[in-house]
Amino acid sequence: MYSSLLDSSKPKSRGFTLVELLVVIAIIGILIGLLLPAVQSAREAARRMQCTNHMKQYLLSIHNYVDAHQYVPASRSTLFNWTVNQGTDSAHGGYINCVVVLLPFMEQSARYDDICQQARDAAAGSWPFTSTAAMQDRIPTIICPSDAKASMPGPHLDIARISICTSLGDGLWNNARPDYGEGASSKMNSRGFFAPLCWRPLAFATDGTSNTIAISEMCGDDHYSTNVKGGIYRTSALYDGKSRPSACLTDSRKADDPNQLNSGSDSWRGLIWVDGRCAHASFTTILPPNSPSCAYTYPSLPYLAWGVFSAQSYHSGGVNCGMADGSVRFVSETIDCGSASSYAVTSGKSPYGVWGAMGSPCGGETVSM
């Protein structure tokens, strides 16, 4: 009997009940659910900071180039004609992105030499971009870490991509032509810090280099993409440099999915890092950041297009912008963009609000953000 009483006085051990186990699992799930957004936000903040650093390196290469040659490079040109005030559009296409000539100032001299030798070996007037290591190996300085596709090989001969683009200001642009005709002529070149086949000194930015955008971001996608970020909507309304950019907003997006375009075009954004044509490597300060890009394409030459090419990124709420003085700012999607129903101008103040004023180097505006 004593032994029985002794045994009954011992505390009994037991495991978790099913209800207790489910409660613990639910609590852990809630904690993970609360933690993941914070982790993702921290990772995006780190990627955005890294993107900012890449832009600063790009801007530093521009300033070092200006120190060596006295001119800001043309947004696109022939490979061996970088330091004259006006270029030609003949040898090797004249479509080569200015990032190529900036390579020696990004510690990429060997790659630059390889590309130059490749171009010398090609016949004049031919497209010198072939599937070589110099073209395929990606350059971290010209890629935004938040753009997952930018780190992938491009669909054209596996040539690497680019997600940093040059500013053409607040004028509508043609993908290949350096002039506009119909009275506008080359005056539209004055609406951006960069321009095709046009070299200019830093002093061109009379509004102040701290008030003038030099570079920003773009999202790249494949041919005929219908994604707003990376695609280019084909429209018949943007047929010359004097169209209204509101045509891009009227019917570009699908009614049931604002992230998709109604149709895509054969032009592309950022697929070939050496391609400097406007639709492929530049942006306009007309529609707000992360707006659609739109172009009019000629039936016989679908890759030549008048258009509005928006700055785009995968950062939440806006894009990084590199200013002509070497600083980097984050510009919100809600920045004042004036009236998209206004016609583009060739001189004076921009009709596209603060965003347009930031894009025009000599419009006579003083902007503040």
The string of DSSP codes covering 68-129 is HHSSBPPSEE-TT--SSSB--S-GGGG-EETHHHHGGGGT-HHHHHHHHHHHHHSPTTS---
Residue 18: strand, helix, or coil: helix
Which pLDDT tens digit goes with each residue over 75-95? 988 776 544 434 443 444 578
Mean of all residue pLDDT scores within the chain: 83
Report the distance separating Cα 189 and Cα 196, nearest Å.
8
Higher pLDDT, 297 or 23: 23
Among 4-8, 109-113, 363-367, which range has the highest average pLDDT?
109-113
Residues 6 or more apart in contact with residue 211 via CB below 8 angstroms: 205, 323, 357, 358, 365, 366, 367
Q: What is the pLDDT confidence band of residue 130, given thresholds at 50, 70 and 90?
A: confident
Q: Is the pLDDT of residue 357 over 50?
A: yes
Count CA atoms closer than 13 A to 257's CA, side-chain side. 9
Among the residues of the chain, which ranges form H helices? Answer: 2-8, 18-69, 99-102, 109-121, 133-136, 246-250, 278-281, 353-359
What is the three-class DSSP state of 330?
strand
CA distance linking residue 350 with residue 169, whole number of Å: 9
Asked whether the predicted pLDDT for residue 209 surpasses 70, the reply is yes
pLDDT at 313 over 80: yes
Token duo for residue 273: 């890092």
Spatial contact of 202 and 193, defined as CB atoms under 8 Å apart = no
Where are the strands (E) in 224-313, listed by range? 232-234, 253-254, 257-261, 282-283, 293-297, 305-308
* pLDDT beyond 60 at 183: no
Neighbouring residues of 10: CB distance < 8 A, sequence distance ≥ 6: none
